[in-house]
Structure 1
Amino acid sequence: MAITAAKPQRQRLWFRTLQNIHLWTGLILCLPLVMLGITGSILVLEDELRDLTGDRPTYALEAGAAKPISAILAAAKGAAPTGTQPGFVTLPDEPGKPVTVRLTAARPPGGERGAPQGGPGQQPGAQTPPQAAPQGPMGVLLIDPVSLAVVGSQTPGDGFLRTVHMLHANFLIRDRSGREIIGWLGVAMLALGVSGLIIWWPRPGRWKAAFTVKAGARGVRLHRDLHGAVGIWSLVIFMVVSFSGVYLAFPQTLGDGVSAIFPARDLRAQVSVEPVKGAKPLDVDQVVELAVNVLPGATLRSVSPPARPNQAYRVGLAPAGHSHGAPMATVFVDPWAARVVEIRDPVRYSLGETLLAWQRPLHAGEGLGALWKWLVFLSGVLPPLFAVTGTAMWWLKRKARKAKDAERAAALAGAAAAE
């Protein structure tokens, strides 16, 4: 019985198939993947770019004690364009900056999200006819927390960087399909990362060379060495940023997957409360006071009034020593029962909850200092580099193969003529 030697890995059918999948996925999707990388890098350094171009606005704000949240909401409601109302309120993380009030589509009377007093504006049992309204943010108002003057505004689509953000987040497609396209491009990046690692995996005795670019390398060898060496050194950051991007596009699906392995609550979920007929709910200032008291030393960062009477207030608090961009604590307050109904504190998160809570900061280059920010920035340069080196390898090999075929054909023609 004859013994057939096993084929080297690079001659096996599955390996060649994987190489072809990796090659053609990269070639077909190189332009949108390059777009994702470049726009991502721009957004990571958005603040620095605004400083460099002088695009960062400055505000002449009054000195003094900030007004309560109820007054800020009332000022925002008075300045909101027709058809909109104040929603999510974000307080500045340093002095000299205005309060940001996100506007949402106005709801029918009785279900206002941002009533000036901060409480649900509808008594239980009241009926309002269904009314279609646009969903999502409708713009932003910037308000001086001391004078309550509107010092700036922004509508969706304003400015170059806003366009870059929309391109990176949803391909400029405002419905859900745009975000899904971006999510599937992220899946393609993950697939390219995994398949690239398998293809790169060196043979015994070649490990040192696999991590470097050979001195004096040219042509296909140069592009192959660059593609492989840069890919392996950057693989971890590339996979982390790609996975977090997929999570942001498909949070429910990936959240369920993570929770199946590491039990975790849905940290994005709203908390329901029971409206009390005839009772007067707490106003927003009372809600804030209640929330701040449960986490001593924490700083108020955001307030989200309920969209409906059966929802709790959502109050964001930054614990002492909090790093910019890191997950914050969230306190849910029942305005009808005047009590805190849930606290989501990163200090007490399970492993699964910690993994999920960190996905957005990891993707944005936040929460872990300047080093992480620059690593995430550099990860956006990887798709262009991989596109150039990968396409160059394919083109040069194709060119060499055509030249060899032409030589073979000429040799055969010469042999036939000589006969």
Structure 2
Amino acid sequence: MTKIGLRNTWFQVHKWIGLALAILIIPLCVTGAALVWDEALDHVVNPQRYAVGNGPALTPDQLATAAQAAVGTAKIATIKLPAESGAPAIASTGPMPSKTQGPAARTNVYLDPATGKVLDVANSRSGLIMTMHMIHGTMLIPVWGRPIVGWIGVAMLFSCFTGIWLWWPTVGKWMRGLRWRRHRNLDTNLHHLFGFWIAVPLFVLSLTGAWISFPTFFGPLVGENARPMGFSAERAAMNKAQPLGTTRMPLATAEAAALAKQPGSVTQIAWPTDYKAIWQFTIKPAKGKPATLAVDDASGIASIAPDANRGQAGIARLMRQIHDGTGMGIVWQAIIFLGGLLPAILAITGVIMWWRARGWKAELKAKQKARASAA
């Protein structure tokens, strides 16, 4: 195949990937960009959750009592204590029965850590931010949503590769490709320039997105556990487990046992359930990484719990961090924010370019037909 023929082939691949996925790419990318700073967005959307007072925090036992009063007969299953000033404590009930894809719905109670005042009560699977998470993760499509999103990521990998091929100038040095006015139309210039600058970050985001969607394929390639993240039999059972109606040990006693084993500050607590009758405490020591302590509800014996992220170790965990920007710093977060917005612009400008091309091709055919008739 000649160089021109190969270029035309890549052009067709690039064009039809863009046209076929344009409607899906826009909501997928825009929600991904917004979710880079989902916590800041939650401050804007739900300011009542962050109207906390000053002063020392109540004990976890006191906060749990306040949360329990807000949910009635439902049982509190976890409580997350604020890691910084200005943040609420968040208590969650056990999972509600559900047939939908993903984690089961729970009732979240937002508390002022200083007073125990209930700031908000909400379903964990409702609200703008959760809807954006579901759009980005499954496109709101039951069962097949996650694989569809994964295949969109695979298609975007090819789009990045073919886009760079088509961006590369056919004559002269590659620096010519950085010129603004490569075409008389604004949308075409935007497509060429934005496509170049976002190609590498978009390739990384597409690869990590596909990795998250298809861990059983990518995991073995790097010698990691092929088990899908979050979908093991144990995790499925834990997701359905209900907190015990009555525990043998009070929360304060279990907390003291955990802190005796691992001194530090408690950041999260999980109640004993009908699946495992143990308390779990996430404790942040003065130095080093946080540890999870398991306290047997019957005996009160505390022990270091196995790593809760053992199914997401190594490369798989890194891929998720890269994809959502968690702990990756403001520079990378800004890059992936643009990596979410610019593909939406590329999709729109690509459709405009295709539609314009249809017009001038139809006009050209009409002129050729008129000339043939005249001859």
Q: TM exceeds 0.5? A: yes
* Aligned CA distance change for structure 1 residues 76 and 16 (closer, same or farther; 3 Å): same
Percent pairwise identity: 24
Compared CA separation, residues 299 and 370, structure 1 to 2 (3 A): farther
The aligned residue for residue 88 of structure 1 is 78
8 Å CA contact 1:62–1:144 kept in 2: the answer is no
> What is the aligned partner in structure 1 of residue 243 from structure 2?
none
* TM-aligned CA deviation for residue 81 of structure 1: 4.7
101, 122, 129: which is aligned to 1:154? Answer: 122
Structure-2 residue corresponding to 1:194: 161
What residue identity is the alignment partner of 1:385?
I
Q: What SS does the aligned partner of 2:326 have? A: coil
Question: For residues 294-330 of structure 1, what are the alpha-carbon distances to aligned partners after superposition, in whole Å with 9 as ceiling and x for unaligned?
Answer: 766x6533233354344765544557699xxxxx745
Equivalent position of 1:245 in the other structure: 209
Structure 1 78/45 Cα, relative in aligned 2: closer, same or farther at 3 Å?
same
1:260 positional shift: 4.2
Question: Unpaired runs of 5+ in structure 1?
Answer: 1-6, 107-131, 273-279, 323-327
User: Take 1:141 and 1:52, find their aligned partners in 2: how far apart are those partners?
Assistant: 18
Matched, 1:63 2:23: no
| 1:261 is the counterpart of 2:222 | yes
TM-score (norm 1): 0.69
Change over 3 Å in CA distance of 1:260–1:47 after alignment to 2: closer
The letter of the residue matching 2:33 is S
Corresponding residue number in structure 2 for 1:365 = 325
1:231 corresponding residue in structure 2: 195
- For residues 376 and 262 of structure 1, the distance between their equivalents in structure 2, rounded to whole angstroms, comes to 27
- After superposition, where does 1:328-347 map in structure 2 within 5 Å? 329=290, 331=292, 333=294, 335=296, 338-344=301-307
Q: Kindly state the Cα deviation for residue 247 of structure 1 after the two structures are TM-superposed.
A: 4.2
More helix by share: 2
Contact 1:37 1:383 in 2 (8 A): yes
- Give, in angstroms, the shift of residue 332 of structure 1: 5.2
Tell me how large the CA RMSD over aligned residues is.
3.9
CA distance in 2, matches of 1:29, 1:395: 16
Match of 2:112 among 127, 136, 144: 144
Q: Quick one: distance in 1 between partners of 2:161 and 2:127?
A: 37
1:16-415 to 2 correspondence within 5 Å? 16-49=8-41, 55=47, 57-61=49-53, 63-68=55-60, 70-82=61-73, 84-105=74-95, 136-156=104-124, 158-173=126-141, 175-201=142-168, 203=170, 205-210=172-177, 212-215=178-181, 217-219=183-185, 223-248=187-212, 250=213, 253-254=214-215, 257-263=218-224, 284-285=251-252, 288=255, 299-310=265-276, 313-317=279-283, 329=290, 331=292, 333=294, 335=296, 338-344=301-307, 353-415=313-375
Separation (CA, whole Å) in 2 of partners of 1:291 and 1:247: 36
Which residue is 2:5 aligned to?
Answer: 11
Q: CA offsets, 1:354-408, max 9 Å, x none? A: 3322344433333122222221211111222211221232223222222221221
Q: CA deviation at 1:341?
A: 4.7
The 3-state SS of whatever aligns with 2:90 is strand
1:21–1:314 distance in 2 versus 1, CA, 3 Å: farther
Whole-Å Cα distance in 1 between the matches of residues 368 and 285 of structure 2? 73
Query: Structure 1 residue 148: deviation in Å?
Result: 3.3
C-alpha contact (below 8 Å) 1:333/1:340 kept by paired residues: yes
Cα offset for 1:136? 0.6
CA contact (8 A) 1:265 1:353 kept: no
1:275 aligned residue = none
The aligned length equals 358
Give the greater-gyration-radius structure (CA). Answer: 1
Asked if structure 1 preserves the Cα contact closer than 8 Å seen for 2:201 and 2:336, the reply is: yes
Q: Can you give the 5+ residue segments of structure 2 that lack an aligned partner in the other structure?
A: 238-246
CA 1:205–1:366 in structure 2 vs 1: closer, same or farther (change >3 Å)?
same
Please give the TM-score of this superposition, normalised by the length of structure 2. 0.76
- Which deviations, in whole Å up to 9, do the C-alpha atoms of 1:171-198 show, x marking residues without a partner? 345x444444433333333332233344
CA distance in 1, matches of 2:196, 2:75: 49
**Which residue identity is paired with 1:154?**
A
Aligned to 2:242: none
Q: Is the 8 A contact 1:143 1:149 kept in 2?
A: yes
